[in-house]
Amino acid sequence: MLYVLPAVVVFGLGLAITVAPLTATAMNSAPAEQSGIASAVNNDVARFGGLLAVAVLPALAGITGTVYLHPHALAAGFRTAALISGVTCAAGGVLAAFTITNPPQVAPPSRGARTRTVPPLRPRRATTDNQREPDG
């Protein structure tokens, strides 16, 4: 347990500091009326990434179907897969740091700025079907 606990803690912290900001970025990049689509795309990309990693990492690390019979070979393949994952995550972090930007924020009007006031609407009188209220 002492071998696994530090890695699991680091993994959990990494998820906590990456998943929420990435989800917020994905959701804030779409207009409010398309938030459902943005959420679906975000979920689909996350699922696809996980499935792709499970499919590709063992092949890249040299883990085959029979390597589980040889514990040392399996451990070496697992280390290689973990190294590939770490490098890929670090590259993704660097890429995100340089490419994800916030749109420029518009400063609120100053207190001394003139604002245009709109006259209040006046209620219309109730009319009958035969009688139409004049406009104006």
How would you class 61 by CB atoms within 10 Å of its CB: exposed for 0-12, middle for 13-18, buried for 19 or more? Answer: buried
Domain count within the chain = 1
pLDDT (tens, 9 = 90+) of the chain, 136 residues, equals 777 888 889 888 988 888 888 888 888 888 889 989 999 999 999 899 889 989 999 999 999 888 889 999 999 998 999 899 889 988 988 998 888 777 777 777 666 656 666 666 666 666 665 555 555 5
Query: Is residue 136 a part of any domain in this protein?
Result: no
Q: Evaluate whether 26 touches 38 at the Cβ level (below 8 Å).
A: yes
How many angstroms separate the CA atoms of 7 and 14, rounded? Answer: 10
Q: Which domain holds residue 56?
A: 8-99
Query: Is residue 133 a part of any domain in this protein?
Result: no
Query: Is residue 120 a part of any domain in this protein?
Result: no
DSSP string, 41-79: HHHHHHHHHHHHHHHHHHHHHT--TTGGGSHHHHHHHHH
How would you class 53 by CB atoms within 10 Å of its CB: exposed for 0-12, middle for 13-18, buried for 19 or more? Answer: middle
Query: Is residue 30 a part of any domain in this protein?
Result: yes
Whole-number Cα distances in Å, 121 to 49, 109, 124: 55, 25, 9
Query: Is residue 32 a part of any domain in this protein?
Result: yes
Query: Is residue 119 a part of any domain in this protein?
Result: no
